[in-house]
Amino acid sequence: LVKKSDLFLDVGAHYGFYSLLAAEANPHMKIISVEPVPENFEILQKNMEENEISSPKGRLIRAAVGNRIGKVELFKSAASDNSGMFKHPNAPSVGKFEVQTTTIDEILREDDSKSIFIKIDTEGNELAVLKGMEKTFEKCRDLSLLLEMNPKMFKLAGTSCKEVVEYLSSKGFNVYGVDDKESKYYPLEDEGNLYRLQAENSFFNALCVKKEKSLSVAFFSHSALLAGAERSLADLVEDLCHDSVLCSVLLPSEGPLKEMLLDKGAAVHVLPECTYWWAGSHQSFNEAGHKMQLTQSMKATVAGVLPVLRQLKPDVVYTQTIVVPWGALCAEILSIPHALSVCEYGELDHHFKFSFGFQESMKAFYDSSKAIFSITESVKNEVFKGVRDKDGKIEVVYRSVRLNPGDDCDVAVQNYDYKNKAVINVAIFGTVFEGKGQEDIVQAGIALMAKGFKIKVYIIGYADPQYLVLIKDLIGASPYKDNFIIKNFVLDPIEQMKAMDIIVSCSRNEAFGRTLIEAILLGKPIIYPDSGGPKEIFVDGVHGLAYPCGDVQRLAEKLIFVIDHPDKTKQRVKAAKEYVSKKFTPGSYSGKIESRLKRIKGAEIKPHHSVMTLLSAAALVDAFLAEFGRKNAEFFEARDELANRNGQIVGLNKAVAERDCQNAGLRQQIDERD
């Protein structure tokens, strides 16, 4: 939060821990640290000197801060961080001392900083501190606050958490309570959140953001893994968090994405009840069973997810992919603007079958959303080909792709003379399934190996078991099985990519091609099918080499061309890297999305419930019919069983009657004998 600030003001600095954190996060920022306790101030001075934070960058003030200038007596606590104007209930007082008082307005009277972040921890005196910064509220439009909320100390000061929140709201701030234990935050305008945080914590922090600047977004992710869509979500969240957007991500399960998001500054809510997609693979799709499960997921969403969103009160609900409807459903129920990210073709690339039909589902998404971000023009035209975008909702936003510091390469010093290498490493990254076309690189690799090229082919990614069998059979039938390495998905594909020489994509319909862009940034030559997103994004022969989709012979020829022409390969990689570095930037990705989300924040939501209508009407009717059919079948089964039992009883009665006749005859014989 302080990375984009010009000034960090630390009120109640103690030993300077927060001041030092701020200085490390933003070395160019000015820092003012204020601390009244003499012993604390002495250590504060030493800490700032040790870390070389001195004038003009650093400024120290020994004073108490309140709503007036003068002098005041403070209680010195046995715990060094609990001294203040009131006796702290958690630590005994060891005496009193007099100190000069000042105000934030006075401290910042001659300061011209445009962006200011103020941290306030004054052991219950926070409201007085806030009332001593009236001029600062007026002159600084870019102002953020972090202050401690301590209900017991507020009570001693004659105020309350609620009064502090109401005062800040009147000054134009949204106030969010931070749950440190769970790494989550909640708007305190909701009194339920305020009372809950007070009940669960002896104190907690509150983040205060200007209302006109603040944006809170609840993201729905379809998965907690780390495939392309999830990595793009993590990149977006990272950029938005750096721009002070409050991001909460709702995940369907635990997974590696959770830790990545927490590291990037997001709050994460795991919702194990909300795991079902409204799309499935063609091979295993059972329409009746799928709709029954959707109905159960819908009930779980209403019961488990809506309460979370009611606590979060986000400005926008954002769904990351088209395979989950729950974000749109919740947004409709709660009348919150909904934004949709379209990362895939759906049917063309992943061969998904949608429970209520593809076009019907996409039309429902369109009607339910205030903004739609398509990963490419090609995806937009395919997914919404039956929709007239008369409202201009759909915007093509190319994803930014970034590497970790130190991973970026200098193409000028790279060696592309592959012929002199002992082994040429060729890799394909992505889910191993039919739509990704890994069989192309296997067959092309075998062809090159047969010609004497020293090649190893790496196939890396999550695998569809059936398609993996096909790939292994192709490899096993060749004499080069030792030259193929199949690896499961890796959390850090960049490290694997660095060790490769050529990166290939063979997708039949690739929506974007993230791994191709990562490869280019690492200085690797790329080969890709002449279709989908890559065809739209790259120029054949300028940024990489394209081959006709599924044409194994042409793919082999492109590989040979890369190997045989190192100078041309280097020239292509250089041009591609310059192009990608300019085109796929955070500004062109997260910047566009943030701007659009802020525009739809607070938008009027008309009662047009497309996703809800589609889900509830179709799912519940079908579920009812399925349930009716099951009950009907049970009825007929029971009726047949009853008829069978009745038949058995008739037979038994007949047998009993016959026995009775026999018995009567025998008794008559006995009587005659007698």
The percent of residues in the chain predicted with pLDDT above 70, rounded, is 95
- Helix pair angle (620-673, 287-300), 10° resolution: 110
Q: Is the pLDDT of residue 339 over 60?
A: yes
Mean pLDDT of 177-195: 93
Q: Is the pLDDT of residue 162 over 80?
A: yes
Which of 557-566, 608-617, 645-654 holds the top average pLDDT?
557-566
Cα angle, residue 473 at apex, residues 472 and 475 outer, rounded to 5°: 65
From the centroid of its chain, how far is CA 209? 22
Span of 127-136, 301-310, 633-642, 647-656 with lowest mean pLDDT: 633-642
Q: Is the pLDDT of residue 660 over 90?
A: no
- DSSP code of residue 591: I
Q: Is the pLDDT of residue 632 over 50?
A: yes
- Rounded Cα distance, 486 and 499, in Å: 15
User: CB of 532 within 8 A of CB of 507?
Assistant: yes
User: CB of 465 within 8 A of CB of 437?
Assistant: no
Tell me the CA end-to-end span of the chain in Å, nearest whole number. 115
pLDDT classification of 624: cutoffs 50, 70, 90: very low
pLDDT attached to residue 633 = 63
Q: Which of 518, 559, 509 is nearest to 536 (CA)?
A: 509
pLDDT attached to residue 183 = 87
Q: Is the pLDDT of residue 622 over 90?
A: no
pLDDT classification of 635: cutoffs 50, 70, 90: low
Span of 30-34, 387-391, 502-506 with lowest mean pLDDT: 387-391
Q: What is the pLDDT of residues 421-467, one digit of tens each?
A: 999 999 999 999 999 999 999 999 999 999 999 999 999 998 999 99
Q: What is the pLDDT of residues 264-291, one digit of tens each?
A: 999 999 987 666 898 887 666 677 777 7
User: CB of 352 within 8 A of CB of 280?
Assistant: yes
pLDDT classification of 629: cutoffs 50, 70, 90: low
Mean pLDDT of 161-189: 95
User: CB of 316 within 8 A of CB of 246?
Assistant: no
Mean pLDDT of 596-609: 87
Q: What is the pLDDT of residues 213-271, one digit of tens each?
A: 899 999 999 999 988 899 999 999 999 998 889 999 999 999 999 999 999 999 999 98
User: CB of 457 within 8 A of CB of 447?
Assistant: no
User: CB of 534 within 8 A of CB of 510?
Assistant: yes
- Rounded Cα distance, 65 and 102, in Å: 5
pLDDT classification of 350: cutoffs 50, 70, 90: confident
pLDDT attached to residue 617 = 65
Q: What is the pLDDT of residues 94-153, one digit of tens each?
A: 889 999 999 999 999 999 999 999 999 999 999 999 999 999 999 999 999 999 999 999
Which one has a higher pLDDT value, 673 or 250?
Answer: 250
Whether the ω angle into residue 56 lies within 30 degrees of 0, i.e. cis, is: yes
User: CB of 338 within 8 A of CB of 332?
Assistant: yes
Mean pLDDT of 281-305: 77
- Rounded Cα distance, 107 and 661, in Å: 117
Mean pLDDT of 410-422: 91
Strand order in the sheet with 93-102: 64-65, 93-102, 70-77
Residue written as tokens 């992505």? 430
Across all residues in the chain, what is the average pLDDT?
91
